[in-house]
Amino acid sequence: MTSFFTFSRACAAHTSLRWLLLALAVAVFHPARAFERSDGLTVQCEIERNGERRVVSEQWLGHGESGDRHPALGGAAAVVRPDAEGWPVIYFDHVTVKGIRAKDPHMLDFIFYHECAHATDPALSEIDANCEAYLHLDRLGLMNEALERALAHTHRKMMRLPSRYGGSGAAFWDKTMACVSERRAAVLAPAGG
């Protein structure tokens, strides 16, 4: 028993050294920061363009102090903008994100996958980015009736939205769910069937 204990400790030390080296390599070669999901996992948004795979880099704006909201984001928690080479970058607003993480961390997961959908396909509409976010969380096992209700509530609270979001939070969510149903139906009954 003692030898097993010693062995596993040595092994654990070795593993953490490996992880440290890996983390250093990632830090040096990829300035991208990883996103901490509500289930505690650290994830990244990975995309592919012209056969090249890259982790989408994240930029955090503001310092997280109240009143320090970054004007470039206009109150949004996150946006995607292309860098000088045309690769997408996800910009997060520290203040807005902090508030959402405290109150509704699952909503923040939803926002992350919404932005990752935009980064994956810049031509995606807001409805389709929301639809992708929903389906992604569902595939990960991070969606259930209660979580869906909470997302619906958060969306419906937004009274007026630009037309690309359907004009209101309620319309945005209804269109998102219509897309989700359509996509699920397409999986169940492929074209021609």
Binding map of Zn ion across residues 76-115, x = CB under 5 A, - = no contact: ----------------------------------------
- Residue 65 or 121 having the CB closest to Zn ion: 121
Backbone angles phi and psi of 58, in degrees to 5? -115, 135
Q: Which stretch binds Zn ion (CB under 5 A): 45-53, 90-98, 120-128, 182-190?
A: 120-128
Of 132, 114, 120, 116, whose CA–CA distance to 48 is shortest? 120
Tokens 């269109």 — which residue? 175
Which of residues 73 and 129 has its CB atom nearest to Zn ion in the complex? 129
Task: Choose among 123, 187, 111: nearest CA to 154.
Answer: 111
- How many CA atoms are closer than 13 Å to the CA of 19, on its beta-carbon side? 6
**Least distance in angstroms from the C-beta of 40 to Zn ion:** 25
Side-chain-facing half-sphere of 179: CA atoms under 13 Å: 19
Whole-angstrom Cα distance, residue 140 to residue 21?
28
Stretches 26-34, 84-92, 100-108, 127-135: which one binds Zn ion (CB under 5 A)?
127-135
Interacting stretch for Zn ion, rule CB under 5 A, among 19-27, 52-60, 126-134, 151-159?
126-134
CB of 132 to Zn ion, least distance (A): 10
Number of residues that bind Zn ion (CB under 5 A): 2
Which DSSP category does 168 fall into? S
With CB under 5 A as the contact rule, the residue among 119, 129, 131, 180 that binds Zn ion is: 129
Q: Which residues bind Zn ion (CB under 5 A)?
A: 126, 129
